[in-house]
Amino acid sequence: MANVVPFRRLRHGPPRRLSTPPFLRPRRAPLGWLARHLAFLVLAALMVGAAVLLNVEWPASTSRAMTNVIAVDGDTLRTSGERVRLYGIDAPEYDQTCRDDTGRSWPCGRAAKERLASLVARGSVACSTQGHDRYGRTLAICSAIDVEDIADVLVREGYAVDYRRYSFRYSAGALAARLAGRGIWNGTFEQPEAFHHRRH
């Protein structure tokens, strides 16, 4: 019996884990309010920079003068029987409404049309054709007196959104309007394209 090992009570439960020395433990980066907002600002700056580069590389085209120009809605003009759609943007439909920061409804589509009408009313409207859409409308970049790019003004003032499916030309202006809470960005709204498809 001298070779018999005495019985030892086994411990129940998982084995103990060895603690990691402090100098080997990974450090967690602070993710407070400031860090989250700094990351957003850096991302916004990168988007603006990319948009600016795209604008610089935009090919030039010949402009032609337009006469008897009237606004059909917030992003479409009519002149001498021709319908001209402003290239690269999408404005709320004429009968579309949006909500401001208090939740109150306002006629954003009508406001977009009125702003476009005020810009072309300055006279000397000239447009450079960028092609045609599926409805046969001329796609163009247009200017007026003291307005180098009408669509850019509409986007920066919050009367239209940039149409990134076809162009990033107005992405910088759209981001600026969104950060400043101008126009439709002062509250909530349905994307004009979604509103159009839902209604039709």
Pair 192, 73: CB distance under 8 Å: no
Condensed to tens digits (0 to 9), the pLDDT of residues 95-140 reads 999 999 999 999 999 999 999 999 999 999 999 999 999 889 999 9
pLDDT at position 159 is: 98
pLDDT at position 62 is: 73
What number of other Cβ atoms are within 10 A of residue 178's Cβ? 16
pLDDT grade for 61, boundaries at 50, 70 and 90 = low
Residues ≥6 apart with Cβ < 8 Å to 95: 109, 110
User: What is the spatial order of strands in the sheet that 82-86 belongs to?
Assistant: 64-65, 126-132, 138-143, 82-86, 76-79, 70-71
Q: Where are the domains of the chain?
A: 62-199
pLDDT grade for 13, boundaries at 50, 70 and 90 = low
Range 62-199 has CATH code 3.40.50.620: no
pLDDT at 36 over 70: no
Closest among 96, 89, 90 to 110, alpha carbons compared: 96
Question: What is the rounded average pLDDT of the residues 163-176?
Answer: 93
pLDDT at position 184 is: 98
State how far the Cα of 121 lies from the Cα of 10, in Å rounded to an integer. Answer: 92
Question: What is the rounded average pLDDT of the residues 6-28?
Answer: 57
pLDDT at position 81 is: 84
State how far the Cα of 4 lies from the Cα of 194, in Å rounded to an integer. Answer: 84
pLDDT at position 33 is: 47
DSSP, residue by residue, the chain: -TTPPPP-PPPPSPPPPPPPPGGGSPPPPP--HHHHHHHHHHHHHHHHHHHHHHHHTPPP---EE--S-EESSSSEEEETTEEEEETTEEPPPTT--EE-TTS-EE-HHHHHHHHHHHHHTTS--EEEEEEE-TTSPEEEEEEBTTBS-HHHHHHHTTSSEE-TTT--TTHHHHHHHHHHT-GGGGSB---HHHHHHHH-
pLDDT at 176 over 70: yes
pTM: 0.70
Question: What is the rounded average pLDDT of the residues 5-14?
Answer: 54
pLDDT at position 42 is: 57
